[in-house]
Structures are given as C-alpha cells and as structure tokens.
Amino acid sequence: MKQGKIAPSILAADFLRLGEEIAAAEAGGADRIQLDVMDGVFVPNISFGIPIVQATRRATTLPLEAHLMIVQPERYLADFANAGADTIIVHQEVSPHLDRTLHAIKELGKKAGVAINPSTPVAMLSEVIELLDLALVMTVNPGFGGQRFIPGTLHKIRQLRQILDERNPACEIEVDGGIDEATIRAAYDAGATVFVAGTAVFGHPEGAAEGVRGLLEILHR
C-alpha cells in the first residue's frame, strides 16, 4: 500500500510561534515542511523569503520544500538551496527554460520539483517528466491558504500518475490547496502521495500535531 505523507505549509502557521508550530507538526508525524514563497507578481500575494527559510532550517531536521510562487525562479535557486531547502519547486507557467532550470536545481544537489496550476495541462510536463523528483498538482489557484479544493483537478492527478508509472515511477505526486480531512482521500485515491496542508494543520482547533495526525489517520484507514 502506498504511504501518504503530510507536508505542512507554514503559510498558515502563527509566525509569532513558528518554531513551536513546526515542532508540533513534526510531533504529529509530518514528513517534510513546505515553505510557500510568494512574490506578489506570479501570485497576487506576498508571503516571505530567504530569512524564513533559514529560520525554518534551524527549527527542524525535516526536509524542507521551497515552493517558489515567483517569477524568474531560476534567479534564486542557489539562494534557496543555501538557505536550507532540500527540494525546490518552480512553476511551469513562469519557466520557459524549465529543462535548464530543473538541471540547475539538480546541479545544486537538491531535488527538483515542478508545479502546475489548475488551468495548466499535465501535457506541459511531458518533455521533462524524467527530470522530476516531484510533480505538484495545485488543487487551488495559488496565492492564498484557506481556499476550497478544486475537484476538477483530480483527473490531472490520475493522468499524471499513469504517465509517471510508465516513465518515472520514483517521482512523487504532491497536491496543494484545500487539502483537509474531507478532501485528502480523494486526492490519495487519484494517485497523490504527498499532501501539502496549511489550514488543516495549523488551523486545527487542537493544534498542529492533531491536524497532522487527523490527516494521516484518514490516509491509512
């Protein structure tokens, strides 16, 4: 049975208590931490940058994923690698030289990921499938936490899993946006194995550890 993994997004965390929040998510069984970097250009919101990645690196030994929701991500790969990111995820929509960018991430010794927005077809990844360590299917339009899961993205997960099973079985499918106890199972059954969750974890009434545990419990029923 494929194992589901939770990647809490600190976007929804209490930044006054970021270290505690990360520790709680880790205690609950988080597999990795996702850092949602937003520039206010690619997405209509500004979040945080290198200093928060560096701080998160100091707060946990879990792998860190830098999800770059920014234009010209190729300009910042070394910065995020040096700040502590283990995986760097760029958006296909702002990467006309995606093959070169993915190679550049690997040359930095990091895992290479690409994200596609709800309106971007899986086919846009067809020429770089073998280069990917992770493919992120956005299940909301990026820019904000707390949005509703878009069920119309499920077919993309199934389609991508089929292609990966043939051409790059080791590549993980990650989903991000509106993942909670009501939506995670459908994404898992469609073929995703890594689940980014911000609100469902850091907005959980009993705290982040319970938020992670609740999601894992549903996955491993």
From the CA atom positions of the chain, what is the Rg in Å? Answer: 16
Asked whether position 7 contacts ligand DX5 by CB under 6 A, the answer is: no
Kindly state whether residue 146 participates in binding ligand DX5, applying the rule CB under 6 A: yes
Contact present, 135 and 174 (Cβ < 8 Å): yes
Residue 54 contacts residue 77 (beta carbons within 8 Å):
no
d(CA 205, CA 67): 26
User: Choosing from 31, 39, 133, 176, which is the catalytic residue?
Assistant: 176
Answer yes or no: 14 catalytic: no
CA distance 70 to 117: 13
Site string for ligand DX5, 148-187 (x = CB under 6 A): ----------------------------xxxx--------
Contact 63, 26 (CB under 8 A): no
Which amino acid does the sequence have at 141? N
Active site residue 176: yes
The structure tokens 């990917």 sit at 132
Residue 143 binds ligand DX5, judged by CB under 6 A: yes
β-partners of residue 88 are 66, 112
63 binds ligand DX5 (CB under 6 A): no
Residue choice 12, 59, 70, 137 for contact with ligand DX5 (CB under 6 A):
12
Q: Which is nearer to ligand DX5, 103 or 185 (CB)?
A: 185
Write down the least CB distance from residue 130 to ligand DX5, Å.
26
Positions in the binding site for ligand DX5 (CB under 6 A)? 9, 11-12, 36, 67, 140, 142-147, 176-179, 196-200
Active site residues: 36, 176
